[in-house]
Amino acid sequence: MQDKKLTRFVIVVNAVGAGIAVAFSVAALVDPALAITGSADSPGVDLYAQAYAARAIPLGAALLFSLASRHKRALLPLLTVSGAVQLGDVAIGATQGIPGMMVGGSVLALIHLATAGQLAVGSRRSAVAAA
């Protein structure tokens, strides 16, 4: 099963990453200027913070739940989607000139996608061994 393939360290690193994403989105709801530095007066900053939180909070919560769960069947797709979302954040950060978004998104994408890759390889090996 997938849950035996992940070390406690890998689970904790992914949980910390998901927690950071959720915490940042909540902080941006409280103070939208945190989301886009130096643009507190821009009319779209509140909307951006709300849109970011609308996806970051449920996705992060689902990932945290799956990481903590005994059965990790949903973990591979959640890690894959979380990694893809972080890559989207990297692209947004690059086009908007937000270095923190590029660096943070890159690190979290690497963590989530590397773990998803580890699970996918482990699942394939288990399937081959069972056949």
With b for 16 or more beta-carbon neighbours within 10 A and e for fewer, the 75-91 pattern comes to bbebbbbbbebbbebbe
| Enclosing domain of residue 107 | 2-130
Question: In this predicted model, what pLDDT tens digit does every residue of 52-103 receive, in sequence order?
Answer: 899 999 999 999 999 999 888 899 999 999 999 999 999 999 998 889 889 9
| C-alpha span between 125 and 37 (Å, rounded) | 46
Phi-psi region of 97 (alpha: psi -120 to 50; beta: other; left: phi over 0): left
pLDDT of residue 116: 96
Residue 119's alpha-carbon distances to 26, 56, 100, 104, in angstroms, are 30, 22, 28, 23
Helices (H) and strands (E) in the chain, counts: 4, 0
Nearest to 78 by CA among 114, 112, 127: 112
Place of tokens 């950071």: 20
Q: Considering its fold, how many domains does the chain have in total?
A: 1
* Angle CA 61–104–109, to nearest 5: 65
pTM of the predicted protein model: 0.84
pLDDT of residue 1: 40
pLDDT of residue 63: 97
Residue 118 in this model has a pLDDT that exceeds 90: yes
